[in-house]
Amino acid sequence: MPENTKPQIDVISVGDTVVDDFIRLIEDQGKVVDNGKGDKWLSIPYGMKVPFEKSTTIYGVGNAANAAVNFAKMGLNSSLCTNLGDDERGREVVRTLDKKDVDTALIKLQRGKKTNYHYVLWYKEDRTILINHEHYTYHWPHLHKSEIPKWIYFSSIAENAVEMHDDIMEWLERYPEVKLAFQPGTFQIKFGAKRLKHVYKRSTVVVLNREEAVQVTGGNYDNVHELLDKMHDLGPQIVLITDGPAGSYASDGVNRYFMPIYPDVAPPVERTGCGDAYASTFIGALIKGYTLEGALQLAPITPASVVLYPGAQEGLLTTRELKDWLEKAPESYRARKLEK
């Protein structure tokens, strides 16, 4: 290989990146309260000094960053396009991602801005996240020929970044061979399917959970076939709808499958990043040439590992490890074809 020639980037992940400060709460210092409307609230003493067990700072996380690290873990040539503050936290994020084999050439440190920093209240096996997003200036970068990827993985981004969607879609018009995976975040769902119709139409794959599919399509929560149909009507070739402990559903417009979750191997430690692990493992498997059914059988394995560790990245698995877990799965852990 010539000295200045690098392998083609398999996937560029696009989205916001944060630093998570996990604060492990002592169980007898709080409780979970049901408000009677289906919502649960974390309750801790008000106006008091509340002791906590420990705190752990994790650099370089968020939907897109978690995906980028997972793609690299799976052996793909992975890059991340994101904004950070031009501060020590931002530089530490870059160093951390470099160590995890993520290409950081498309990360922009914005002068005068701070790196997003979240506090994660870790109580029992779940978490409540205190968020405060910096307002960055968003631009899709000019990519050199050597930086053109096989895939773009587009995920959660800030409310003031709506025009960046237009920039990316305009760029993708010039490169029809580049495939797009879309995992919409909170604000992208808030923008509405009409505003982002060009994104859904251009997508090779869209991944979202069942509640989000209802929000995007207005479909019937109890009718997964209707949700899949309405998602396909927006344009994506493949739709993956996750449904928490109930499993997930995938469709390529012809074949439809139901996939159960991977059986628990141990009690969960903490659930941050399970959705990102699921979505990016599914996409990563497709990039590596797996069929829809094959990718669907690998996707639930990574979250089953991630929940055994604090944070979204420590439990990520190599492709070889994914195969090992799959070989050890019970016979019931199989994708089941669905008929409408």
Domains with residue ranges and CATH for the chain: 11-18+61-117+137-337 (3.40.1190.20)
pLDDT, position 207: 98
Please state whether beta strands 205-209 and 179-182 pair in parallel, antiparallel, or not at all (unpaired): parallel
**Sign of the CA dihedral with 68 first, then 216, 299, and 284 last:** negative
Residues 279, 15: Cα–Cα separation, whole Å: 14
Mean predicted confidence (pLDDT) in 150-154? 98
Closest CA to 151 of 7, 292, 10, 295: 10
**Has residue 75 got a pLDDT over 50?**
yes
Mean predicted confidence (pLDDT) in 182-189? 94
- The enclosing H or E element of 117 equals strand 117-123
Confidence class for position 131, pLDDT limits 50, 70, 90? confident
Across the chain, what does the average pLDDT equal?
A: 93
Structure tokens at 238: 């493949």
Structure tokens at 162: 């709506």
Mean predicted confidence (pLDDT) in 138-152? 93
Biggest alpha carbon–alpha carbon distance for the chain: 65
Mean predicted confidence (pLDDT) in 94-117? 97
pLDDT, position 1: 43
How many C-beta atoms surround the C-beta of residue 58 within 10 A? 20
Closest CA to 104 of 235, 215, 13: 13
Mean predicted confidence (pLDDT) in 196-214? 97
Q: Who contacts 152 (Cβ-Cβ below 8 Å, separation ≥6)?
A: 11, 12, 14, 168, 172, 178, 179, 180, 181
The distance from CA 74 to its chain's CA centroid, rounded to whole angstroms, is: 15
204-237 as b/e: b if 16+ CB within 10 A: bbbbbbbebbbbbbebeeeebebbbbbbbebebe
DSSP annotation string for 273-336: THHHHHHHHHHHHHHTT--HHHHHHHTTHHHHHHTTSSSSSTT---HHHHHHHHHHS-TT-S-E
